[in-house]
Structures are given as structure tokens and as C-alpha cells.
Amino acid sequence: MGLIVQKYGGTSVATPERVKHVARRVVATKQAGHKVAVVVSAPGGTTDHLIDLARQVNERPPAREMDMLLATGEQVSIALLAMAIHKLDHAAISLTGAQVRILTDKVHTKARILEVDRRRLDRELSRGNIVIVAGFQGITAEDEITTLGRGGSDVTAVALASALGADVCEIYTDVEGVFTADPRIAPGVRKLDVLSFDEILEMASSGAVVLQTRAAEYAKQYNVPLHIRSTFSEAEGTRIVEERAMEKSRVVTAVTHDRDVTKITIAGLPDVPGVAHRLFSALAARHINVDMIIQSASRDGKADISFTVSSADGETAAKVTEEVSREIGARGVHWENGVAKISIVGAGMVSNPGVAAKLFGAIAEEGVNIQLISTSEIKVSCIIDAAEVERCVRAVHRAFNLDRL
Ligand code: ASP
Ligand code: MG
């Protein structure tokens, strides 16, 4: 008998019919002899609707009250799912993040999980209950309700699986797994059977939406085996495992893209020690995550720095940068939203020269200009005009023969 954590996303619980479908799947897992803990998101569209409501009464709602509001979405799903399971004559109990005591830091709307208390979970599981936990939420040491950032139910699921030592954390979604590119835009995409933690982390952080970045980070850090699969089919999805458990044959595994990118350039920075530190600590103090950073070579004692942030943080990041720019006497700040990031990811890239050149070649053939480039051991990313991104994803997918095995 094993212990399985299952996470169902918003589309999987968007209607009463779907909630009943999920209930049947959960019960089937229980009947196969496993202990089951389930994490659910708010019904599809609910979180967006709540955000919209908040904006209608206050365009800058206090973050604490935002969390009070947003946490209600998941509470709807857990209660409905528990009811649907009861209807199937199985024992289930729903719990909020606070009831479990999913302890987080105090950063409202993007809190980080510090610890998951497993005592209540263990108690309920050993009573034979299917335990249903609200995703996306936690509680601070001061008993304040927090949320974990958009898509945060994935993080809840991985944290729960880690705390419980689950055999697997299954992430149920509306697609059959992780693909070589976004199936909505590239023809001939293939489902990937297996990925390493590093690959899923790089894919998530470069725009693949199947798994939230922090959840990928957490899974890698705590070595939580994942299985990303469809709520609506029995097919095997994509398994995420440690790299040594994989054969390394692929150079490039997937192409990802991200349209939620803001590019900010601060020009004419005095080229002296401490300037970058000043800028990026000011951004960090506002909890803004910076992605790519590129500094130009210095000319006449001045340099430019360009960096990217997610567009949700774009305006705040630009404001902070403008303040810093004035303080340190830079020439000025320019920012734009109409850019996108295209990336290739693959664990075999480390030992294969020429991969980046091939990527740049495919983009050049489309006549598209590359604005920024960054690389890691297993990823190369380019910032391009957002209007060109779909075309480039298709071209790059073809160039690396990702449509073929
Ligand atoms: N309901 C939250 C959101 O829409 C969390 C989640 O779905 O994972 O972002
Ligand atoms: Mg999600």
C-alpha cells in the first residue's frame, strides 16, 4: 500500500460534472489500496473573477485582504469534492491550508511555504479518510492567511508530497503531459515520457505552464517524483525523475515560450562597483523576481543594463528602476511589454557544441531580431518581439527535429 498525492487544477473542477469525475478517480485510487491526499485549485476562472471583483472596489487592494479573498476560491473546490466523494460512500474530509497548518512566510500574495505540519494529515489518513487540501494557501506564524502566487496549488501538492514522503505526486491537468512545445501553436508536438528535475525547472521558468516554477524548484530540491497527466484520460503522462535515472540521448528536449515578459533597460549607468547591487537589491526588497540580466560593455565609463521580469511585476519594477536611476545618476530608463522569450531546454546540451548557433539560425531565417540572449547549462533563451513568437516556436521546433523521435 502506497501513499499518493494527487493535484487537480482549476479546469478539472470547473463544473459539478467534472467534480464528480474527479471524485470517481480519487476513489478508484483509494480502492486500488492507496492512501490518498488530494490538493485542488479553485474552479477554473474563479481566481481571475475574484481579482476582478477586488479591483472594482479598490484598484490597489491591500495584499492581506487580497489573500483573504483569493483563499475562498479553493475552499469552494475542497468542500464540493469532499461532498462528491461522500456521495460515492467513501470517507473524505476537506481541510484549508490553515487547518493543516501549512506554515508560510508573511509575503502576502506570493508567500513561500516554510513547513507543512503532517500531524493532522496523518491522523485523518489513518482514520481511513481521503484528505482533500486547499491548494494555493497557507498561514503565517501569526495566523494570517496567505496565498502562494498564481498557479500555487502545484506548490502545495509538491510540499504535501514531500512532507508525507509520498510515493508519487500526480499533477492532473487538461493536457496529457509535457510536450516538446505548446500543442496549441506548434504542429507535430510530441508528449515527453520522462524529464529530469532540471529540465522541468528550466521549462517551467521559461514559460511552460504545466507546472508552476516554484513547484518544480521544490520537487527538485526535495526529490519528489512527479507524474504530470490528464484528468480526462487514463494514459501515462510525463514522469519527472532524477537525471541519473534517465538515458541521455536528447540534446534539445523542448521549445518553450513566454509572453508575460517586460524588458527594462537602464542606460548610461556609472561603471563603478556597487551599482548593480543597488539596483537589484531595490528590486529584491519589493519581492520582484528578475529573470535575464545583461550588462553591456562599458564605454566612456558608462554601461547599460537590460533585464526582464514577469509582466505582472513590470510596472512596479520600472518604477523602482527609475528611482534607482535618479539616485545614481544614470541617463534614463526604458521599458516595454511587447516582448516574449523563446527558449530551448535539454539536459544533453551541456556536452554538445553548436546548439545555440542553430537556435539563432532558425530565428534569423524567420527574419526576426534577437534583443537579448541568456544561457544556462541546459537552456538558451532569446528575447524577441512578441508578435513573432509563435512563428519562431514552430521554426525552432522544426530545426531541432522535435517532431521526430
Ligand atoms: N487558483 C489559483 C490560481 O488560479 C491557484 C492555482 O490554480 O494553482 O492561480
Ligand atoms: Mg496550474
Domain final position from 174, 190, 210: 174
Q: Is residue 267 part of a domain?
A: yes
Ligand 1 in contact with 78 (CB < 6 A)? no
Q: Across all residues in the chain, what is the average pLDDT?
A: 95
Per-residue pLDDT of 111-169, as tens digits, reads 999 999 999 999 999 999 999 999 999 999 999 999 999 999 999 999 999 999 999 99
Q: Is residue 216 part of a domain?
A: no
Q: Is residue 186 part of a domain?
A: no
Residues 301 and 158 in one domain: no
Residues 389 and 263 in one domain: yes
Q: Is residue 394 part of a domain?
A: yes
pLDDT at site 349: 86
Unique residue bearing C-alpha cell 513573432: 388
Q: Which atom of ligand 1 is nearest to the CA of 136?
A: 5
Domain final position from 125, 153, 174: 174
pLDDT at site 226: 98
- Answer yes or no: is pLDDT of 43 > 80: yes
The neighbour count for residue 271, using CB atoms within 10 Å, is: 15
pLDDT at site 350: 80
Q: Is residue 224 part of a domain?
A: no
What is the CATH classification number for the domain harbouring 143? 3.40.1160.10
Nearest ligand by distance to the CA of 41: 1
Per-residue pLDDT of 187-222, as tens digits, reads 899 999 999 999 999 999 999 888 999 999 999 999
Residues 277 and 140 in one domain: no
The neighbour count for residue 387, using CB atoms within 10 Å, is: 11
pTM: 0.90
Residues 136 and 264 in one domain: no
- 214-222's contacts with Cβ under 8 Å and 24+ in sequence apart are 214/112, 214/148, 214/149, 214/152, 214/154, 214/155, 215/151, 215/154, 215/155, 215/157, 215/158, 218/113, 218/155, 218/158, 218/159, 218/162, 219/158, 219/169, 222/158, 222/162
Parent domain of 281:
255-404
- Answer yes or no: is pLDDT of 405 > 80: no
Q: Is residue 249 part of a domain?
A: no
Residues 36 and 153 in one domain: yes
pLDDT at site 348: 83
What is the CATH classification number for the domain harbouring 394? 3.30.2130.10
Q: Is residue 136 part of a domain?
A: yes
- Answer yes or no: is pLDDT of 351 > 90: no
Residues 160 and 263 in one domain: no
Per-residue pLDDT of 63-101, as tens digits, reads 999 999 999 999 999 999 999 999 999 999 999 999 999
- Answer yes or no: is pLDDT of 249 > 80: no
Residues 261 and 352 in one domain: yes
How confident is the model over 254-268, as a mean pLDDT?
96
Nearest residue (by CA) to ligand 1, atom 4, is 47
Which one of 146, 153, 213 would you pick to mutate in the ligand 1 pocket, going by the greatest count of ligand atoms within 8 A of its CB? 153
pLDDT at site 245: 60
Nearest residue (by CA) to ligand 1, atom 9, is 150
Nearest ligand by distance to the CA of 171: 2
Q: Is residue 119 part of a domain?
A: yes
pLDDT at site 361: 97
pLDDT at site 352: 81
Residues 169 and 259 in one domain: no
Percent pLDDT > 90 in the chain is 90
Interval between CA 240 and ligand 1 midpoint (Å): 22
Q: Which atom of ligand 1 is nearest to the CA of 10?
A: 7
Say how many domains are in the chain: 2
Sign of CA dihedral 375, 376, 380, 386: negative
Domain final position from 174, 193, 208: 174
